[in-house]
Amino acid sequence: MMKNINLVKSKTIVLFGLLIVFNFGCERDLTDQAVPATFPNTADIYTDNPVGLTDEFFISFDPAGGANTGAFDTDDNEAYEGTSSIRIDVPASNDPDGNFVGGIFKDRGEGRDLTGYDALTFWAKGSVTGTLSQVGFGTDFEDDRYPASRSDIQLTTNWKKYIVPIPDPSKLVQEKGMFLFSAGGFDILGDGPNGNEIGWIFWLDEIRFEKLGTNLTVGAEIFEGQEIMRDEFIDTAFGVSGVAHTVNLGSTGENISMNLSAAYFDYESSNPSVADVNADGDVEVIGLSGTTTITASLEGFGANGSLTVTSNGIFPHAPIPAQNATNVVSLFSDSYTNVPVRHYNGFFLPFQTTQGGAGADPNNVDLQVPYPDGSPDNIINYTALNFVSIGMYESVPNVDVSAATHLHVDIFVREDIEPGDFIRLEMESGTFSGPTASGSFLLNSTALMDNMNEDGWTVLDIPLSSFSGNIDFTSLGQLFFISDGTISDIWVDNVYYYNE
Amino acid sequence: MKQRKFLNTIIAFSFLVGGTLLVTNCEVDETQKVANLTNLVMSDEFDVDGAPDPDLWGYDLGDGTAQGLPAGWGNNELQVYTDSPDNVSVENGLLVITARQVGANQYTSARLTTQVNFDQQYGRFEARMRLPLGKGIWPAFWLLGNDCDENPWPQCGEIDVMEYLGDAPTVIFGSAHGPGYNGGDSISKEYDLGNDRFDTGFHVFGIEWGPDFINYYVDGDLYQQITPEITAEEAIEKDGITNPGEWVFNRPFYIIMNIAVGGDLPGAPNADTVFPQRMFVDYVRVYN
């Protein structure tokens, strides 16, 4: 019995085998297409002529940003090897045509496969011992996905070879950004960058990618090497920052610091169901709860630094205001048209420590979390709070809230509320417009807790008559949040006056 | 100058051997036999974890003053040598010599020697090693004549099979020191690994030594030959004393392996030098 069964199976296999062969025979084109596309691995960028670069050869940085587009040329009287080199006449810092030179060389085709190389190398010499601000590759003015560069390379007045390591060559399967450089005037007086730098010349030759085999990664970090902890909500997205790469060059023994794209690193999330990280280092919180740690490596070298993200689930939006807009004067709310403000944080140094609330645009503050319908919910996040004001004075008119009966404000205290914690709301009238007067209303820890809804927001509707002092509500200049440091981290939303 | 003379010798030799060799003359490993001696006399494969085999290895300890040298082993070196497991141990089949920073400008390391237990005149001395990294790090695998007490250095001779500076991780150098050619004026030649580094993988460093030659090699490449004719070129006359450039490599020599930190040759460690630094030795073998 067993033998028979085996025999049947064998026959079946043979038939399948024939079918497969036939199928392959028919779909030859598909099979050919399945081979991954490869791109030329041309190493040379400039020898005596540009090699495989775009017709414009040199693509300058934006002249509107100060780049001098007339500083680039080739020179048949100078060469490290062969007959020609690239000559850059670096402008003086007071040159009306632009005070620096810089730009890129770009592959004229679909990009090159640089996976077989480990460094960009070039020869350079200066008319003086000037400094190249930046030299690198990976910038193509299209995707700019893999920029990598060295900063501040001081040239000598004789030809010398320079090396820019490729952080992870395996990423560069189709790279168009062949070369990038920038340089500014020569600081002949050595008195720092102050506008008196003079013009100078440098020459570049024999620019190419090479496989040196002598570069060694001795340092790599993300988040500046720190172990960052963040509490986030679902759908929040942010990027890996603070990346660094230190390479020991075998040829000189020196350690050099690379500027590089976060996309060179390989990322791992210890629990991808909480937060996922893509190849570019973009993190997105996707889980309703849980904790994950994002780590990275560079060509197998474990990077210092990590990000531990805890998902706190769905974002707890503050209650959507129900007051009729005609009865409202709003300082900060997505539900109403806001009056213009001078600031959401005046950064009053030296006494104020409070961070967050920068600027005067209610649609561009600290947090912007979409409502389920996709419209944005902007929220101010004050941290290191001791005091802070929303200011309506100087560059904007004082606000007339004399028709209102109440102040509404939603506050989310982002820490445990201890006995003794408080937030004092204080208003000032007449700011920059006349005699000032002020008055306040104290929210002690009990008041903060008693008015907290189930999502954690302390929802406040305070009669203006409850404020002390003799505030002139026709010319309101500032609304202060004062904790004297008892509470340091708060979200603030829906700050408006209304008439009940 | 010395190196150039040596190169000329090689080229002249090639001419003598004939035209066919000239064509392949740059392919060193195909035309030159790197090692001829295959009769293994002594080896330590470092297969037993713990302290190195006490029947073979001893230690030079301290800063050199106990040996009658100025502090810093005569070279202003910064390390103090110990026999502590922190500085020398056998782990996972490797001898590990570790240089550590123990304070500002204070370092410990280890220097192993076979002075008491093993020496040999002529033969092939070879070690497979992976080297450390960083400015101020100065490891070596070297031999000293066993009669330095009676015939003070440099008369007793020194053969440096491998020296290396941690801020030039692609280069080692082999040297010989004797009367008239020693210290900064030794007979020496560099070997550049080219497309690789000595701190990221293991390489074989060796000499083959006979009555009238010392051949230096790395992996499969013979890169230097030192002969009595070459040492004779070092003959000098100074202050009325004639120094003959005498060939002193005609006595038993013993083995030393160490990492020095700082000193006149490498300079002090800098901010980029990471500690601890380790040298790994897979084996030491001696043939005749």
Q: By the 8 A CB rule, do A479 and A460 touch?
A: no
Q: Who's near A49: CB < 8 A, 6+ residues apart?
A: A84
Residues of B in contact with A253 (CB under 8 A): 135, 165-169
Cα angle for residues A52, A54, A60 (degrees, 5° grid) = 130
| One-letter amino acid of A2 | M
Q: Who's near A3: CB < 8 A, 6+ residues apart?
A: none
For B231-268, give the DSSP string.
Answer: HHTT-EEETTEEE-------S-EEEEEEEEESSTTT--
Q: Who's near A388: CB < 8 A, 6+ residues apart?
A: A345, A346, A352, A354, A356, A357, A382, A480, A481
B interface test, pick of A251, A256, A299 with most B CB neighbours within 10 Å: A251
Catalytic pick from B163, B208, B234, B246? Answer: B163
Please give the Cα distance from A50 to A14 (Å, whole number). Answer: 57
For A270-321, give the DSSP string.
Answer: SSTTTEEE-TT-EEEE--SS-EEEEEEEETTEEPB-EEEEEE--S--PPPPP
C-beta atoms surrounding A179 within 10 Å: 26
Q: By the 8 A CB rule, do B127 and B205 touch?
A: yes
Please give the Cα distance from A481 to A498 (Å, whole number). Answer: 19
Note the pLDDT of residue B237: 72
* CA of B169 vs chain A CAs: smallest distance (Å): 5
The reply to whether CATH 1.25.40.10 applies to domain B53-251+258-287 is no
Catalytic pick from B126, B158, B208, B234? Answer: B158
Which position has the token pair 């790469």?
A245
Q: By the 8 A CB rule, do A368 and A376 touch?
A: yes
Nearest to A214 among B135, B196, B274 (CB): B196
C-beta atoms surrounding A129 within 10 Å: 11
Supply A298's token pair: 């560079």
Residues of A in contact with B170 (CB under 8 A): 214, 250-251
Q: Cα B169 to chain center, whole Å?
A: 16
Model-level pTM? 0.76
Residues of A in contact with B133 (CB under 8 A): 216, 218, 248
Main-chain dihedrals φ then ψ at residue A223, nearest 5 degrees:
50, 40
pLDDT bucket at B12, cuts 50 / 70 / 90: very low
Q: For residue A445, what is the enclosing H or E element?
A: helix A445-450
Task: Decide if B208 touches A, using CB distance below 8 A.
Answer: no
Count how many residues are written for chain A.
Answer: 500
Q: For residue A246, what is the enclosing H or E element?
A: strand A244-249
Supply A18's token pair: 């024939």
Written as tens digits, the pLDDT of chain A (500 aa) is 333 444 333 333 333 433 333 444 344 444 555 666 789 999 999 999 999 999 999 999 999 999 999 999 999 999 999 999 999 999 999 999 999 999 999 999 999 999 999 999 999 999 999 999 999 999 999 999 999 999 999 999 999 999 999 999 999 999 999 999 999 999 999 898 888 999 999 999 999 999 999 999 999 999 999 999 998 888 888 899 999 999 999 999 999 999 999 999 999 999 999 999 999 999 999 999 999 999 999 999 999 999 999 999 999 999 999 999 999 999 999 999 999 999 999 999 889 999 999 999 999 888 888 888 888 999 999 999 999 999 999 999 999 999 999 999 999 999 999 999 999 999 999 999 999 999 999 999 999 999 999 999 999 999 999 999 999 999 999 999 999 999 999 999 999 999 98
Beta bridge partners of B91: B94
Q: By the 8 A CB rule, do B28 and B107 touch?
A: no
Supply A37's token pair: 């596309």
ipTM (interface pTM):
0.80
Asked if A248 lies within 8 A of B170 by C-beta distance, the reply is: no
Nearest to B135 among A211, A218, A253 (CB): A253
Q: Where are the domains of chain B?
A: 53-251+258-287
Strands, sheet with B171-177, edge to edge from the N-terminal-most edge strand: B58-59, B111-113, B253-261, B137-145, B158-164, B171-177, B187-192
Note the pLDDT of residue A238: 87
Which position has the token pair 């997205």?
A237
Burial of A166 (0-12, 13-18, 19+ CB in 10 A): buried
Q: Who's near A245: CB < 8 A, 6+ residues apart?
A: A167, A217, A219, A220, A257, A258, A260, A264, A298
Chain B 56-95, residues with CB within 8 Å of chain A CB atoms: none
Please give the Cα distance from A331 to B25 (Å, whole number). Answer: 85
